[in-house]
Amino acid sequence: MDEQDETPERRAFLARASTLFMAGGLVAGYGACGAIGVRYLFPATGRVRRWQFLARAESLRVGESLEYRAPSGERIAVARRGEAGKVEDFVALSSTCPHLGCQVHWQFVEKRFFCPCHNGTFDPEGRATAGPPFEAGQSLARFPLKIEDGVLFIEVPMEALPRPGGAS
């Protein structure tokens, strides 16, 4: 490029363009920092949960249970414990052990949930009674239930929790 090409107008234009470019970069950088700060101060309140149809309440007799898989993929055991005809007759507990995530199953004779990975046990309310979950004070997650017109509904998360490394 010749010295003659460097006219005062061209220099002024380049100076303005570079100033605008740097100002835009600063605004974008501080804006991103501000957005991160706002997200830090006001974190998301949790996963989206919705009421889902489960079964006709009368279809489950006392002592029976059914397995429900939430849209998030979570496996949930729903059991009927009473026959008052109220929602308190039912309990919905996660089948995922809070210790390291193995699947628990109901042991009818012992009347408990059992986790085969490290011999964790839980009472019918989901409270840990032995094994690592008991030592850590962990319980099976419980899900809200309601009955409307004889139909049992469960409130569950619609999306799975993100896993470390981004795998789903």
Residues in contact with ligand FES by CB under 6 A are: 97, 99-100, 102, 115, 117-118, 120, 131-133
Q: Shortest gap between Cβ of 81 and ligand FES (angstroms)?
A: 23
Q: Shortest gap between Cβ of 164 and ligand FES (angstroms)?
A: 17
Which two three-digit tokens encode residue 79?
A: 């059991």
Question: How many angstroms separate the CA atoms of 126 and 139, rounded?
Answer: 6
Q: Tell me whether residue 134 or residue 151 sits nearer to ligand FES (CB atom).
A: 134
Under 8 Å between Cβ of 121 and 131: yes
- C-alpha distances in Å from residue 104, one per residue of 14, 15, 60: 68, 68, 21
Q: Tell me whether residue 140 or residue 152 sits nearer to ligand FES (CB atom).
A: 140
Question: Residue 91 forms beta bridges with which residues?
Answer: 79
Q: Shortest gap between Cβ of 125 and ligand FES (angstroms)?
A: 17
Q: Tell me whether residue 54 or residue 120 sits nearer to ligand FES (CB atom).
A: 120
